[in-house]
A = this chain, B = another copy of it.
Amino acid sequence: MVDSNTNNTPTDDLLKHHLEQVIELLGKQRLEETILQHQTMPRHDLVETLLHKRHQASLKQKLDQLHAADIAYILEALPLEQRLVVWNLVKSELDGQILLDVSDAVRHTLISDMDAGELLTATEQLDTDEIADLAPDLPEEVMQELLESLNGQSRAQLESVLSREEDTVASLMDFGMVTIRDDITLGVVLRYLRRRGNLPEHTDKLFVVDKQNVLKGVLSLKRLLIHSPEAPVDEIMSREVVSFKLDDEAADAARAFERYDLLTAPVVDENHRLQGRIRVDAIVDYIREQSDDEMLTQAGLLEEEDLFSGIWQSLKNRWFWLGINLITAFVSTRVIGLFEGTIEKIVALASLMPIVAGIGGNTGTQTSTLIVRSLALGLISGTNVRKLIAKELGIAVLNGTVWGSLIGIVAYGLYHDIHLGIVMATAMMLNLLVAAAMGVSIPLVRHHLNLDPAVGASVLLTAITDSMGFFIFLGLATVFLI
């Protein structure tokens, strides 16, 4: 673990402290390399090499004390060149775990620095479910060799996990299970565990199965400990088990873990035969990943970025949504273009029109965010959709009345034209209604079409509220002010 004693709590400050020490040592090492290169006097090679080696040794020593996850953090925070220096000093038995812990973008930089042999050594020590997690990033030939090096059972497990779709329970599952029969006593179980000598990480319960490997129940370590060794498993085990099927959605499993405060849960196939288990730490990672993905998509990014990735890499990540935004901006530009004659006559319209469009986008986003959230929680059903739409339209009418009047008065104050004020207020009200209608319907329709309700919703929404905002405002102005 991170601490050599129990006196350090693993705060982010401690991690930063580790990082600073590593950077300092990297700096010293580099300084010497520079001196070595620029030396014009006869070199005292031996002394200098020794000095260099000394700093490298202290860097290695520092790294050896750290947990794999902490080294992963340090690698993320270092620019590419220094990152690879550190990566090459890391104990090779930690390589696999670190590859699992770093972000996708950083993993690519590390893997491109390794040859097939190193990758094989790093991944061979991992569990099958962990290999499956790395699989998309490993070169074909390494995967091939890995598969060959595994025993029959592990290979079958790996192939089965790899063949499952992403975001299913199967993709979160691991195989660290202890199974027992129900016709023995707790005493026999206790002796079996002692003989076994080790338990998979995060074992909080044993899985009770019959001869066909069908799940009968679970025996928590807690119950195993507090009941008499004479008691039969059959009597003590719990038959009410929250279990998952291989093809259940990962998001469902995550919600269930949250609702029922689970630590581990069995995964079964259609015939209720035990296939694996899900651990809460896989769920925690899943939840974090989902929320990160959501944040990145919302900001118009395709994926997370290595902080120090090349500019070209970053551009690829950012251009897709920028392009989409440019197209929608172009569409609203053309809407304005329709009314250039009107704007030429009443130039105040040019100043005022961004307000109508902007506030429409803002209120629409509020609505759609709440709808997306309720959809994710499964709170929206056929029976309450109508109520929801009525509520959101009601809010839009009220918002339109209040903010529309306010803005109308301000417009009047600025340009001393009462009709302009009225047009502004009316346009505001109408665009807020459009925004509410779109804010409800875009996520609902996407959900209905089995598309992710969140992705692209805000881009589509603001495209509509912008164009409609300009159209309504300039259209009303053309009809009533000219």
Residues 326-349 of chain A: 1 if any B CB is under 8 Å from the residue's CB, otherwise 0? 100110111011001001100111
| CA–CA, A346 and B251, complex, Å | 54
Decide: A16 near B260, CB < 8 A? Known: A224-B225, A326-B359.
no
A49 within 8 A of B: no
Instruction: Find chain B residues with CB under 8 A from A298 CB.
Output: 295, 298, 369
Instruction: Find chain B residues with CB under 8 A from A256 CB.
Output: 10-11
Residues 219-245 of chain A: 1 if any B CB is under 8 Å from the residue's CB, otherwise 0? 001101111100000000001111111
| Interface stretch (choices A50-58, A159-167, A379-387, A441-449) | A379-387
- Who on chain B is nearest to A290 by CB? B291
Decide: A322 near B403, CB < 8 A? Known: A226-B199, A261-B281.
yes
A129 within 8 A of B: no
Taking a contact as CB atoms under 8 Å apart, the answer to whether B391 and A311 are in contact is: yes
Taking a contact as CB atoms under 8 Å apart, the answer to whether A226 and B197 are in contact is: yes
| Interface stretch (choices A28-36, A73-81, A120-128) | A73-81
Taking a contact as CB atoms under 8 Å apart, the answer to whether A395 and B272 are in contact is: no
Taking a contact as CB atoms under 8 Å apart, the answer to whether B354 and A10 are in contact is: no
Residues 57-85 of chain A: 1 if any B CB is under 8 Å from the residue's CB, otherwise 0? 00000000001011001001111000000
A259 within 8 A of B: yes
A315 within 8 A of B: yes
Taking a contact as CB atoms under 8 Å apart, the answer to whether B9 and A245 are in contact is: yes
Report the minimum CB–CB distance from A381 to chain B (whole Å): 6
Report the minimum CB–CB distance from A277 to chain B (whole Å): 13
Residue of B79, B198, B326, B377 near A407 (CB, 8 A) is B326
A314 within 8 A of B: yes
Taking a contact as CB atoms under 8 Å apart, the answer to whether B333 and A70 are in contact is: no
B-binding residues in A (CB < 8 A)? 1-7, 9-13, 15-16, 19-20, 23, 67, 69-70, 73, 76-79, 101, 190, 193-194, 196-199, 201-204, 215-217, 221-222, 224-228, 239-245, 248-249, 251-252, 255-261, 263, 268, 272, 279-281, 283-285, 287-288, 291-292, 294-296, 298-301, 304-305, 307-308, 311, 314-315, 318, 321-322, 325-326, 329-330, 332-334, 336-337, 340, 343-344, 347-355, 357-359, 362-363, 365-366, 368-370, 373-374, 377-381, 383-384, 387-388, 391, 394-395, 398-399, 403, 406-407, 410, 414, 466
A-B contact pairs, 12 of them (CB 8 A): A6-B216, A11-B249, A12-B252, A225-B225, A261-B281, A291-B294, A294-B295, A304-B373, A315-B399, A322-B359, A326-B407, A343-B350
Q: Top 3 nearest A-B pairs by Cβ distance? A: A291-B291, A299-B369, A69-B259
